Each structure stands twice: as C-alpha cells, then as structure tokens.
Structure 1
Amino acid sequence: MSRKSERGAVAVEFAILAPVLVMILLGIMEFGRAYNVQSTLTNSARESVRSMAINNSQATARTAAKTAATQLSPALSDGNITFSATDCTAGTQMTVTVSYNLSTLTGIAGPLAMTGKGTMLCGG
C-alpha cells in the first residue's frame, strides 16, 4: 500500500472522530459550568437561611443570598428566593430555596432549571 492512500484514510478517520471529540469537550465545559452554578446556589441558600435564622428579616436574607451569588449572570432577583415561612420563630426550622435558570453556552441543551436549598434552626 502506498503512502498517499494512507493519508486519505487518516483524513477520513479524523473527519469521523473530530465531531465526537468536540462534543465531549463542549460537554465537559457545560458540566463544569453547571457544577459551579449549583455550588454557588447552594452556598447562596445557606448564607440566606443563616441570615434569616439570626436576623429574622427576609430583606436581609435576600440581600445575603444575592451577595453570595454575585458571579451569576444574570444576577439573582427577589423572585428567585423563596422561604418556607414568613417568620422565623425560635425553635422552628427555616428553609430557603434559591432557583435559577442556567442558559447553556452551546444552546444544545437548556436552559437548565437549578435550585439550591438551605435549612437551619431559627434562633439557634
């Protein structure tokens, strides 16, 4: 077999494998970004519920959630943050849920609905 015919075979093999490799690379990027946003949402919910348990103020808790998630684009709004109760009386549990729709970089799959939850005992 001559060297020229092998070159053509290599080009065909590359043409077959290149899209698969690119899709794997894009999948790694999307997964890494989604993992980072999920971690941010969980941290944001934890900071918010901590603030609510100590201060018993939804306004302060919303601010704490937004401050913990400053790297999100678009940023969190008040509608993204929900509380299990309006008041945090001592001895009861409070749960804060932070919801977010993550648009994907590639646009292939998405947007992804993501949530982070934090639960803490009030007045503790």
Structure 2
Amino acid sequence: MVNSQRSDRGAAAVEFALIVPILLLLVLGITEFGRAYNVQTTLSDAARAGVRTMAIHNSVSEAKESAKAAAASLPLADAQITVEPLTCDGSTEPARVSVEHSVDLIFFPDVTLTGKGTMRCNG
C-alpha cells in the first residue's frame, strides 16, 4: 500500500511539471491580449475625440490636442496623429483622424496599433 501511494505522488508531480508551462503561457497570453486591447480601445477613443473636434472646430492643432487628451495614459506625439483634410470649411469630404502607437508585447515586440475616426465636416 505504501508503494502505490509513493508512485501516485511521483506521477502527480510529473503531470504538474508538464502542465505548469502551458498554464503560464496561457495566463501570459491572456494578460498581453488584454493590454493590447486596452491600448487599441484607447487609440480608437482618441481618434474619435480628435475627429469630433476637427469636424466642429476646423482646427488641426485642436484636433491633435483633443486626441492626446483623450489618450492621456499613452505618450502620444503630434507625429503619431494624422488629420485629413487640413480644413473642413465648406468641404463635403469627411474629416478623418488616425492615431498610431507602438506597443511592446512579450511574444510580439514592437506592434503598431492604429485607431481611426471619421466624421462629416461641420457636425
């Protein structure tokens, strides 16, 4: 009876040693996906805030500042924010704002995520 308990304990330890790396990879993957999803959602919100400002106020600089304010948790520079067209005065073309940001993930380093927003000029 003592020998069977000892061999069962050894089998459990081997099974545990085989499963732990898979579980750790799964947990890390879920965490990294959640982090990337959070950044993507923030970029989309920033693009929407920027395009709303551009469509209503017709100012590229205000649109970029609005996008940066909406993504306060991310260090965005003006070069990462693209606003088209440069003016909304009397234009029938919609305003478009694109915000790019690079994220370093554990399994995929230097991934560039983009948030985009489109709105008709003059509200």
With the shorter chain as reference, the TM-score category is over 0.9
Runs of 5+ consecutive residues of structure 2 not aligned to the other structure? none
1:1-124 residue pairs with structure 2 within 5 A?
2-72=4-74, 75-90=75-90, 91-104=92-105, 107-124=106-123
Moved over 4 A (4+): none
User: Highest Rg: 1 or 2?
Assistant: 2
CA distance in 1, matches of 2:107, 2:30: 13
| Alpha-carbon displacement from aligned partner over 1:21-44 (angstroms, at most 9, x marks no partner) | 000000110111111111110000
1:23-71 Cα distance to aligned partner (Å, 9 max, x none): 0000110111111111110000000000011111111011100000011
The alignment covers a number of residue pairs equal to: 120
Alpha-carbon shift at residue 89 of structure 1 (Å): 2.5
RMSD of the TM alignment (CA)?
A: 1.1
Q: Which runs of 5+ in 1 are unaligned?
A: none
- AA matched with 1:111: D
Percent identical among aligned pairs is 47
Please give the secondary structure, in 2, of the residue aligned with 1:2: helix
Cα distance in 2 for partners of 1:111, 1:12 equals 37
TM-score (norm 2): 0.92
